[in-house]
Structure 1
Amino acid sequence: MWIPLLGFLFLLPVNIPWTQIAVSWLAVVHYLACIMPQLGSVLYHLFMNHEGGESVYQKLLTLDMCGVCIVNTLGALPIIYCTLICYPSTRYMALFSYTALSSYAIYCAITAHSNITRLCSFAWQAFFRFFCFFLRWVGLGSGHPSSLHCYVVMDAVALLGGMINIARIPERWKPGKFDYWFNSHQIMHILAVVSILYLHWGVIADLLWITGYSCPLE
């Protein structure tokens, strides 16, 4: 977990063409979205050997969940912005609505009592993103031609990781054989990194694309 954190923390800024991006705050938001889940996860696992009892564990879990919520929230803002680039009023309303919806998702995630309900907490955010994907697919939304593929893969990989973690595959088939390596939790973390990489590729393509894009005149 340290390796992805350090990689995103120091290598990601080098791979963001800051000077070529017209809407700079979207690039900053994207960078924060990529590093926060890694940071939350590292802190969560680093202090797992505490002796503070359930209350300390819940605080660490909340910190970890906040990282996941941040990537779901901040990570989608550039997607929404670029999708609705030609509809300013709708764009700002969508950004506000998604942020408000994400606040509720954060509350649901940190108060969930099981992995299943915790995963379901992000369902409404996923539906919102899928609606943006649908708008692009039918030609009502904007964006770089390659970014939609990246976003679909991003969500599919993230969902797969969450389901593997919940299903406890493969250790449920061979108890004790995967205690240290290749267990569901490790697979989930690997897929989470892959998902964020696809988010990065899609967002950077979009941000560069809108720099030179002009909305059609009505």
Structure 2
Amino acid sequence: MTVLYQGPRLLDFARTPHHLQFNKYVLTGYRPVSTAQECLGSLFYVHNELGNIYTHGIPFLLFLVLLPYSIPWMEVDSTWICVVHYLACLCPTVGSVLYHLFMNHRGGRHVYDTLLSLDMFGVCLVNTLGALPIIYVTLLCYPTLQRTALLVYIVLSAYGIYCATTAHTNVLRLRSFVWQALFRFVLFLFRVYGNGVGSPNSMRLFVIMDALAVLGGLVNIIQIPERFSPGLFDNWGNSHQIMHVMVICSIIYLHWGTMEDLAWIKSFQCPE
């Protein structure tokens, strides 16, 4: 990336504020405490958060512009499915960009915690909104069970949002999504072994979606590859950036799977 101007002198790990010392294997490249304008200016010089900003910022712009053209808004009976799916694809990238861009704001720990909660809220929303079309399609032929499952999942998700936004470690944040993941797993089993319905091609896409999300979370917790060579991956290629890329891939698989289901549902009739 072209450096448009010389940024401020960057800090090493020991000199950065304590609330930003969450990866001891990233040794250099920390931005100093900055105003909002200076945080925005950090988009144009190299530091250790630049990769995190752009690995979600660029996909956000692409999703915002391109996804509406691939969603069959007028071809499904329940337009809300399309709306929640579109929002699900956008939510995690918005919160992530704001968090990484302004995390060194001079407001200190209070601003940082607020941004982190916003970031986690976006992750929770993709888990919540992204699963609603899957529930709707899987239980299409069981309207009462369908409504109950949607309500239960929303309640579980509300609890997950509370846990994720109040958690103090990456492990606890990842655990916040366990109940949602188990719920989706039961849905997948119902499709395979029960009377659940859906496109024959979407199941594989949804499984890959969840696998990528879980693997990305584990990479972030384990902090590889920087754990094996501290300082080498300060600006590029560290665990958080790898997780970002895997999250984007997970969202893409969510989109592909949902589009498969929406295309399939147009020609499907529940048995009498």
Same fold (TM over 0.5): yes
CA RMSD of the aligned region, Å? 0.8
| Structure 1 residue runs without a partner (length 5+) | none
Distance 2:101 2:235 in 1: 16
Matches within 5 A, 1:1-218: 1-217=56-272
Distance 1:199 1:113 in 2: 28
Distance 2:154 2:94 in 1: 21
* Structure 1 residue 49, shift from structure 2 partner: 2.3
* 8 Å Cα contact 2:104-2:112 kept in structure 1: no
* 8 Å Cα contact 2:203-2:257 kept in structure 1: yes
* 8 Å Cα contact 1:33-1:70 kept in structure 2: yes
Number of positions where the alignment pairs a residue of Structure 1 with one of Structure 2: 217
* One-letter amino acid of the structure 2 residue matched with residue 2 of structure 1: G
What SS does structure 2 have at the residue aligned with 1:178? Answer: coil
* Structure 1 residue 45, shift from structure 2 partner: 1.1
What SS does structure 2 have at the residue aligned with 1:20? Answer: coil
* 8 Å Cα contact 2:202-2:257 kept in structure 1: yes
User: Which structure has the greater CA radius of gyration?
Assistant: 2
* 8 Å Cα contact 1:36-1:68 kept in structure 2: yes
* TM-score (normalised: structure 1): 0.98
* TM-score (normalised: structure 2): 0.79
* Structure 1 residue 69, shift from structure 2 partner: 0.4
Q: Deviation digits for residues 141-192 of structure 1, max 9, x if unmatched? A: 1000011101100000000000000000000000000001110000000000
* 8 Å Cα contact 1:83-1:136 kept in structure 2: yes
Q: Deviation digits for residues 107-141 of structure 1, max 9, x if unmatched? A: 00011110001100000000000000000111421
* 8 Å Cα contact 2:103-2:111 kept in structure 1: no
Q: Deviation digits for residues 12-42 of structure 1, max 9, x if unmatched? A: 1111122222221101110000001011111
* One-letter amino acid of the structure 2 residue matched with residue 58 of structure 1: D
The aligned residue for residue 6 of structure 2 is none
What SS does structure 1 have at the residue aligned with 2:224? Answer: coil
* 8 Å Cα contact 1:23-1:207 kept in structure 2: no
* 8 Å Cα contact 1:161-1:192 kept in structure 2: yes
* 8 Å Cα contact 2:71-2:82 kept in structure 1: yes
- Structure with bigger helix share is 1
